[in-house]
Structure 1
Amino acid sequence: MGENGVVLLPGAGLLARVVPRGAQGSDPRREIDIAVWLASRQVPVVHPARPEPIIVGQYVVTLWEYLVDSRPADLVTLAKCLRRLHAVAMPAGLLPCLSPFDRFEERLQRGACLDTEDRRFLCQLRDQLSTRWATAEFTLGESVLHGDAHMENLLVAAGGREAFVDLETVCIGPPEWDLTLTALYYECGWFPDKDYADFVQTYGFDVRLSPSWSELRLARMLRMTLWLAQSAGNDVQRQRQMRHRIDTLRDGTAPTGWTGY
């Protein structure tokens, strides 16, 4: 679990997304509204099964359709669907602007395995990067973003239907933000050369050639490290990978040796 839990309700054929009430950066009702709006613009998305969240004690639950026998999309499908998403006309008032460092303090606080020096280093890195981000140049303008665009957040069902999931990060910002995860995962060695080349050709832009690539890349690595820190808990393997990520951010060799967890 990261920021939320996802529970299959097999009797109803639904998925329940569960978040704590008042969780920073979480707005379950807006996520439902975004799904409905994107579907109306012919963007492939998962559909909410209920138009309102349900309050259960200290938690907020939203219900979603369950795509049976679905699988993560390949990179060509991801690039194709991102082009469709990024081409949608931006709505007025529905979506927030991209905040690359949102939830930083919350995730830092939840990283029980981080020592004092780790926290100091990560805060200094965030502050330095925030200054650089303020003057970063983006080639592709602004568009509607998924915000966390990777293959597991675009599902392909058995019948071939495609659907973006995890819509809580949808926002307005530079399309480069959505392209950076795939490029960074490629740098980590998680994709073959041909797969990444096909992704770039299908989308029509290689984010690594962007003048803001250094800032995009580092911001994503910082988020990936903090996400892992908050979920490491008593998991020795995750703690080892977290330590490696921080060490390589310090010595400038990141993302060499980064694994999924």
Structure 2
Amino acid sequence: MTASDRIAGGYSESELQYLLEGAGAAAGLDCRDADLLRGHTNAVVRLRHEPVVVKIARRGTPHQEVERTVRFVRWLMEKGFPTAPLHPVAVEQPLVVDGAAVTFWTYLPQPAEPVAAVQLARPLAALHTLPVPDLGLPQHDNVTAIRRSLTSIATLPPEDLVFLSEQADILEKELKDVTFGRPMGLIQGDPQHRNALHAGGDAVLCDWDTIAIGHPEWDCVTVEVHCRRFGYGVDHYTRFAEAYGSDVRSLRGYDTLARIRELRMVTTNARKVRHAPWTLEEVQRRIEGMRQGDAELPWSIL
């Protein structure tokens, strides 16, 4: 497999190769010369000799979570929803190889340009109108996720951990005063440019690990944060808001939602530093920007 010397999905390159070969053998797929596409969370590998992307869940991910994701995506596919499709293979998905949950997805060729935020508007708005299926989906809870990450961070100095914990306390109190404009329902949980793919001139959503029940505003503020922090610009998000039909920046309490979303992103990445030590500098740069109250500091993608 073509990959860097960095750990992907919590696995070394040799471990990842072993898992990929085992999954390929069970599913009847040719996994030679595969390419690692992404590895900061899950290990996502494109097969060169098959129209397939293999996703190996991050080390320690409960199989039940991946099973729930598979059931949800099958439900979306039955409804004709614009989602990246599971690939038909000769094994039940997820396939468990040496404790790791593996799923197979149909490869969709991509142009050089990533999906634009405005292309997220239509599928995201459609998702927010779907009924909630009886699949045991979790409640979206950013604050709990932040606190869970804080207990697992082992690479930051104590003063950074204290600062992040204090921010969580402050924002949790502020959140109680936020009045959401829309009822709870299905949300993607992490909609962004890299969690969508071009498909037939439109865009489809992918990476459904964060699917949950929550207020749609959480999805919209995630798009806004990514546009603002990763160099896309204000106009890029404004076009999304116009196409979606509402602008989360007009919500009283938007600032609280945005800061909570950013805090979750920072603490999640800080938790992963032990498996990705090269990301520590960027994580600490983001924390310092938060200390300074710099809402416009550009972030580098991890």
Tell me the TM-score normalized by structure 1: 0.87
1:154 paired to 2:192: no
Residue in 2 that maps onto 1:10: 48
Q: CA deviation at 1:8?
A: 1.8
1:130 aligns with 2:172: yes
Q: Please, which moves more after superposition, 2-11 or 16-25?
A: 16-25
Q: How far off is 1:202 after superposition?
A: 0.5
Among 81, 100, 108, which residue is 1:59 paired with?
A: 100
Q: Give the deviation of 1:21 after TM superposition.
A: 6.1
Aligned to 1:164: 205
| Residue in 2 that maps onto 1:252 | 293
Offset at residue 133 of structure 1 (A): 2.4
Find the aligned partners of 1:194 and 1:11 in 2 and give their Cα distance. 40
Which residue pairs with 1:230 in the alignment?
271
Name the SS of the counterpart of 1:229 in structure 2: helix
Amino acid at match of 1:156: H
Measured in 1, the distance between the counterparts of 2:144 and 2:64 equals 11
1:93 Cα shift? 4.3
Matches within 5 A, 1:170-209: 170-188=211-229, 190-209=231-250
Please state whether the residue corresponding to 1:43 is helix, strand or coil.
coil
Q: Return 5+ residue gaps in structure 1 as ranges.
A: none
1:79 to 102, 121, 143: 121
Indicate the RMSD between aligned Cα atoms, in angstroms: 2.4
Of 45, 52, 61 in structure 1, the residue corresponding to residue 83 of structure 2 is: 45
Tell which structure's C-alpha radius of gyration is larger: 2
User: Which one-letter code corresponds to 1:75 in the other structure?
Assistant: A
| Residue-pair matches, total | 258
Q: Relative contact order (alpha carbons < 8 A, sep ≥ 6): 1 or 2 greater? A: 1
How many percent identity over aligned positions? 28
Q: Letter of the 2:220 partner, please give it.
A: L
Distance (Å, rounded) in 2 between the aligned partners of 1:25 and 1:220: 26
**CA distance in 1 between partners of 2:282 and 2:64 (Å):** 27
Cα offset for 1:254? 3.3
Structure 2 counterpart SS, 1:98: coil
Distance (Å, rounded) in 1 between the aligned partners of 2:237 and 2:49: 39
Deviation at 1:162, TM superposition (A): 3.0
- Note the C-alpha offset of 1:221: 0.8
Judged with a 3 Å threshold, the aligned counterparts in structure 2 of structure 1 residues 106 and 12 are, in CA distance, closer, same or farther, namely: farther
How far apart are the structure 1 equivalents of 2:64 and 2:155? 24
Structure 1 residue 102 displacement after superposition: 4.6
Question: Hey, what's the Cα distance between the residues in 2 that align with 1:229 and 1:57?
Answer: 27
AA in 2 matched with 1:149: P
The aligned residue for residue 241 of structure 1 is 282
Map of 1:142 onto structure 2:
184
* Structure 1 position 77, deviation (Å): 1.2
247-256 or 77-86, which moves further after superposition? Answer: 247-256
* Alpha-carbon distance between aligned partners in 2 of 1:60 and 1:193, rounded to the nearest angstrom: 39
The equivalent of 2:25 in structure 1 is none
How far has the Cα of 1:24 moved from its partner? Answer: 6.2
Separation in 1, partners of 2:214, 2:252: 16
TM-score after normalising by structure 2: 0.76
How many Å separate the matches in 2 of 1:181 and 1:118? 24
Q: Where does the alignment leave 5 or more consecutive residues of structure 2 unmatched?
A: 1-38
Bigger shift: residues 176-185 or 50-59: 50-59
Structure 1 counterpart of 2:36: none
Post-superposition CA distance 1:153-181 (Å, at most 9, x none): 11013x33532110011111111111112
Find the partner of 2:143 among 76, 101, 105: 101
Q: Give the superposition deviation at 1:189.
A: 6.3
Name the aligned partner's letter for residue 61 of structure 1.
V
Deviations 1:92-129 (A, max 9, x none): 34422111135435543554431111112212222332
CA distance in 2, matches of 1:3, 1:106: 16
- For residues 227-259 of structure 1, the C-alpha deviation after alignment (integer angstroms, 9 at most, x for no partner) is 332344332xx3332222111222322342433
